[in-house]
Structure 1
């Protein structure tokens, strides 16, 4: 008869990459419960310096940290972010866990679940968002943090400082293999760009980092949304909303329209764009941008459609690799190809249609 206290235990993390702290949490969950569900966050995001590895790659690292007899006791599921709606994120995790419990023939509402984690700092607030689960606190583990791993690993000159002994064997092997890929080289370039960017734009004579103000335009016409493909770092190759930084002497809406016209050469007169603006909203998730603290103001434009002339003409500017009208039905499946939080910004104005 099993001496484990719970039928299920949940471990939540981004695992970018898996380190000894993660391994300790999973080990504790395996001691506490018959079945362990590892929830891998930030699913369906394009590669970036902050989120360099895909769900499949992170699942491989998680499973490489397990002993062979533990594999069947562990399920790994991916859950996407919801930076402007904690309730949607909570519901997504609960739904993923409930689905696995139901597959085992149990009733979720009648099943005891443990949530295993440790309260590191303010970023661990999410561990208190699941009151129906029993929180099992785990002490901090002396381990190199994922942020430090990424900082060393994606710096080719200092990668040698990251010893194999600093990480679980499976993670070390994966990172060795990944370093030979084109994706690794691109992420090294993005890291170098970000460091240079943050150094260049610090306040003169001060260590206090600046807060940037940007604008983004969500433009729809006849069931299509206007997107640009980024030509440069950060987010090179991802799709984004037209937008950019606010000028010193601009009103916000004026900046949004200027950026829209500059990036897409949209053939709609400025007065018509002003009249087509339906709604605006502020998006201020503290970690929404890798460049630093950036607060963006989103503007929603709904253009009238002329069935005889087709969608309004657009053309990529020099700063964009491409520009296109994307059917909204197609856009809803593009989360893993969208820059930063632009999928969620657009989804706010589209009425929450996006998949999570």
Structure 2
């Protein structure tokens, strides 16, 4: 057994009373983002291996663009999971990716169940009545999902003190000498060797540079817009426009961090002296130069909704008031209205709705789910 594996076992052994120690289940399921995999995750995986014949690692935040919060792909995280295991353990662990849905828990629950059941069926088993353990740590309100799977036995796992993936990302994407020094200390004590090797390689990529820029932007943003001496953080209001015509939706490519290069709905922050619809139209004009008269746009407004998932934006608590416009065709064979990327939009394009799934992992924040909501509504 390697020294790092011994460390993982010592972590698990130290969690007396909360870590399963005997194999009682056919399958153990562990759900997480693993951004990146650290020694706490390895201890959790070892606890799963101790209580079950097979382990299914459900990796969240699949099909999302890289961001400071979710910098690594499912394939990269799956490789880190496998890399932290002993050779004799890897055949007992399968990793599957699932997408998040911030506005419909049931969609996410179904995705997780279907992913686990697919593994069971691939092994020749049947999900009904299969003894399954859901192993996890209840850390705060974000852990509510651990009780959303009736039929699976919840097996609690105590957190490994001092290990937090957010802290790892914070120093890993920092350029300051103190960040580099802290990363080196974390690498020596908190990260498996396989994770350290991956992070060293990733640091040489352009993606790392962009995410380091994003980190700096977000830290500066939070400093500049916090409420001094207040007991609560500021809440921001944005306005977005979903403009649809002839099976196409109008999108812009972000020209700045955060999310530089990702595709998004035209939109931005509401100004202090304007109403919501006015702000949405202003941002639409500024970013796309859409060649449609204002009166026609106002007449084509057919739906609105507030999107308020608490963690929908890395910038803080941001509520989006989205407006849907359905443009009618007076001449069905005429070209779509002219657009041009302006302001902080690098490009503006009419994207075919039927090809939206192809763009899913390049759509900014929760804009895929905003689009999904309006595009599945029946337009009057």
**Where on the TM-score scale, by shorter chain, does this alignment land: which range?**
over 0.9
Match of 1:108 in 2: 127
Matching residue within 268, 271, 275 for 1:247: 271
Matching residue within 170, 181, 191 for 1:160: 181
Instruction: Give CA deviations for 1:185-236 in whole Å, capped at 9, x if unaligned.
Output: 1111110011111111222454632110011111111111110000001100
Shift of 1:142: 2.1
- Cα distance in 1 for residues equivalent to 2:357 and 2:295: 30
Counterpart contact for 1:21–1:143, Cα < 8 Å: no
Range that drifts further, 298-307 or 48-57 = 298-307
Shift of 1:120: 1.1
- Cα distance in 2 for residues equivalent to 1:168 and 1:296: 39
Match of 2:80 in 1: 61
- Cα distance in 2 for residues equivalent to 1:181 and 1:317: 28
Counterpart contact for 2:286–2:343, Cα < 8 Å: no
- Cα distance in 2 for residues equivalent to 1:199 and 1:61: 33
Match of 1:141 in 2: 160
Matching residue within 293, 304, 315 for 2:317: 293
Range that drifts further, 335-344 or 137-146 = 137-146
Instruction: Give CA deviations for 1:36-60 in whole Å, capped at 9, x if unaligned.
Output: 1000000111111111111111011
Which secondary structure does the structure 2 equivalent of 1:93 belong to? Answer: helix
Shift of 1:257: 1.3
Counterpart contact for 2:305–2:322, Cα < 8 Å: yes
Q: 1:211-222 alignment to 2 at 5 Å? A: 211-222=235-246
Match of 1:349 in 2: 374
Which secondary structure does the structure 1 equivalent of 2:125 belong to? Answer: coil
Instruction: Give CA deviations for 1:249-302 in whole Å, capped at 9, x if unaligned.
Output: 211111111111111111111111111111111100111111111001111111
Match of 1:312 in 2: 337
- Cα distance in 2 for residues equivalent to 1:208 and 1:38: 36
Counterpart contact for 1:20–1:143, Cα < 8 Å: no
Match of 1:75 in 2: 94
Counterpart contact for 1:227–1:326, Cα < 8 Å: yes
Matching residue within 179, 183, 208 for 2:207: 183
Counterpart contact for 1:19–1:143, Cα < 8 Å: no
Provide the alpha-carbon RMSD of the alignment: 1.4
Match of 1:328 in 2: 353
Match of 1:340 in 2: 365
Counterpart contact for 1:246–1:255, Cα < 8 Å: yes
- Cα distance in 1 for residues equivalent to 2:51 and 2:284: 54
- Cα distance in 2 for residues equivalent to 1:88 and 1:79: 10
- Cα distance in 1 for residues equivalent to 2:79 and 2:308: 33
Q: Aligned in 2, Cα 1:68/1:143: closer, same or farther, shift over 3 Å?
A: farther
Match of 1:129 in 2: 148
Counterpart contact for 1:228–1:241, Cα < 8 Å: yes
Shift of 1:160: 1.7
Match of 1:281 in 2: 305
TM-score normalized by structure 2? 0.90
Alignment pair present for 1:99 and 2:114: no
- Cα distance in 2 for residues equivalent to 1:143 and 1:81: 27
Q: How many residues align?
A: 351
Shift of 1:352: 7.9
Match of 2:289 in 1: 265
**Which runs of 5 or more residues in structure 1 are unaligned?**
none
